[in-house]
Amino acid sequence: MSGLNRRDFMAISAGVTALVGGKKSESAEQGSASGLVVCMHGITSSEFDFRTCLEGWANAGIRAAEPDLVKARQYEQANGRGSARKLMDDLGLQAFSSTNQLYLEANGEDRGQALEDLKWKVELAESLGAGRLVIPSASSAPHTLADYAQVRANLYEAGEIAKPHKVALMVEFTRNSRVINNVRTALDVVRGVGHPNVRFMLDVYHFWAGPSKFEDLDLIEPGEIHHVHFADTPWQPPLEVAEQKDRAFPGEGRAPLQKILDKLVALGYDRALSLELFDMQVRRTDPGFIAARALQTITPYIQQAALAASRGTR
């Protein structure tokens, strides 16, 4: 992680306030002309409690959040039902998504508990106004072609749990998954499920560091992308040994992020770019510092994408 001292933090915070659009009472969707907005993912500040995390983000100028539902639940257990949403509202934060639920796509010993956990998570996501919940594919067990019928059936079942709460479950392909690790498979699975509450999303790190190809983005239909995680692919270590903790701040790695973002905008994406980092140094650093860094590193991509869109050169 690049160093960021308090003087840098104050300078960045002052500079980005004008870029992200002013007053706390304004909608997070007013972050830029294109509708794109810098968003903070709960894991990025995971070593802090719910209130400390959100207050740090808001004080730095963040208006869009992807809250950790476990921490939100802990906060409500201590402060009462509905208190997590009230805190977000008081801070001027809007939940653009929520994180997360594993083990839903493939059969396994963890799936039963995952379905039970999903029930309270979609209820809480609805309460927070998120409307979206990420469901990563992270299975490490080998699978065969015959397994995919069950994968689709499992995701349909999960979609039925989410449907009464009007929450979209967003299938996130991850580069090391043995079930869904690329754009092509993710689109095929989601379309095959055919459930209105099971949707496609894209994590830029897993996209560029995994087996997907840039041309795969042409397979996505306009409006099909429901959420985006925005982090860079590091120069080192080599991808063969890289781990989640090696994800980098935008602009500090090798991925052609502007080219990718311009393509996503051309496909109609105009929502949150959520910074998801796993480096423990980042996760232990003052959430306000990290949020300011997120604004500093992501805002230029948003500005350039908006400029390109306005010129019709996407």
| pLDDT per residue as tens digits for the range 242-251 | 999 999 999 9
% pLDDT > 70, the chain: 89
Does residue 106 contact residue 71 with C-beta atoms inside 8 Å? no
Mean pLDDT throughout 256-276?
96
Mean pLDDT throughout 267-275?
96
Q: Name the residue with higher pLDDT: 255 or 1.
A: 255
Distance CA(302)–CA(272), nearest Å, equals 10
Residue type at 216 in one-letter notation:
D
Nearest to 45 by CA among 12, 71, 79, 21: 71
Mean pLDDT throughout 274-279?
98
- And the tokens for 73? 């639940």
- And the tokens for 44? 């990025």
**Cis upstream peptide for 237 (omega within 30°):** yes
pLDDT at 29 over 80: no
Q: Where are the domains positioned within the chain? A: 6-310
Q: What is the pLDDT of residue 309?
A: 86
6-310: CATH topology is TIM Barrel (3.20.20)
Q: Return the CA Rg of the chain.
A: 18
Q: What is the pLDDT of residue 116?
A: 98
pLDDT band at 311 (very low <50, low <70, confident <90, very high): confident
Backbone angles phi, psi at 183, to 5 degrees: -60, -45
Distance CA(129)–CA(98), nearest Å, equals 10
Distance CA(88)–CA(17), nearest Å, equals 19
Q: What is the pLDDT of residue 312?
A: 75
Mean pLDDT throughout 219-248?
96
Beta strands in the chain (DSSP E): 37-41, 64-66, 94-95, 132-136, 168-172, 198-203, 225-229, 272-275
Q: Name the residue with higher pLDDT: 168 or 3.
A: 168
Distance CA(97)–CA(198), nearest Å, equals 14
pLDDT per residue over 105-156, tens digit each?
999 999 999 999 999 999 999 999 999 999 999 999 999 999 999 999 999 9
Mean pLDDT throughout 250-255?
97
- Range name among 277-281, 292-296, 305-309 with the lowest pLDDT average: 305-309
- And the tokens for 234? 């590091």
pLDDT band at 264 (very low <50, low <70, confident <90, very high): very high
